[in-house]
């Protein structure tokens, strides 16, 4: 697949996972300096990786949530918890992943991640 086609595929998948408003806001806020990174994220991360059928999106979301928690990346954890919910993950599945993080990456990482996930879950369940 050509780079431009993979970019378009990636943008479509990225919007499906993260929500179109979130992706559009990130792209709109990007400067000339940041735009190559945004292109890489869309083309490689979402077009190539998320576009692969090797793992279901739900599973990939849970893997990414675990990694963002273990790596102490609160901003990315927040958006990927939202993405996990968009991909059909339940609060119980997200909690199970974060409990696993406690054992393998440490309780402080899991505690921070639980706090962030709880905030996202509360926002997600608010009546519109």
| Domain spans in the chain, listed from the N-terminal domain onward | 1-54, 55-128
| Distance separating alpha carbons of residues 50 and 86, to the nearest angstrom | 14
When pLDDT is cut at 50, 70 and 90, the band that residue 3 belongs to is: confident
Contact present, 97 and 62 (Cβ < 8 Å): yes
Q: Which residues contact 86 (CB under 8 A, 6 or more apart)?
A: 16, 17, 18, 19
Six token digits for residue 53: 């059928």
Cβ–Cβ contacts within 10 Å for residue 122, how many? Answer: 9
pLDDT of residue 125: 85
pLDDT digits (tens, 9 = 90+) for 4-13: 899 999 999 9
55-128 CATH fold: AhpD-like (1.20.1290)
The pLDDT of residue 126 is above 90: no
CA distance 47 to 112: 30
Query: What percent of the chain stands above pLDDT 90?
Result: 94
The mean per-residue pLDDT over the stretch 52-75 comes to 97
Q: Of 14, 43, 76, which is closest to residue 35 (Cα–Cα)?
A: 43
pTM of the shown model: 0.90
Residue 128 has pLDDT above 90, yes or no: no
């Amino acid at each position: 697949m050509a780079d431009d086609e993979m970019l378009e595929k990636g943008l479509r998948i990225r919007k499906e996972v993260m929500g179109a408003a979130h992706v559009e806001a990130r792209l709109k806020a990007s400067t000339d300096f940041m735009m190559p990174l945004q292109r890489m994220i869309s083309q490689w991360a979402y077009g190539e990786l998320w576009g692969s059928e090797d793992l279901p999106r739900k599973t990939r979301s849970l893997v990414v949530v675990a990694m963002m928690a273990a790596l102490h990346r609160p901003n990315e954890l927040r958006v990927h918890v939202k993405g996990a919910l968009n991909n059909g993950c339940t609060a119980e599945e997200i909690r199970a992943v974060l409990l696993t993080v406690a054992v393998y990456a440490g309780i402080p990482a899991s505690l921070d991640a639980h706090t962030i996930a709880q905030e996202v879950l509360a926002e997600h369940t608010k009546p519109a």
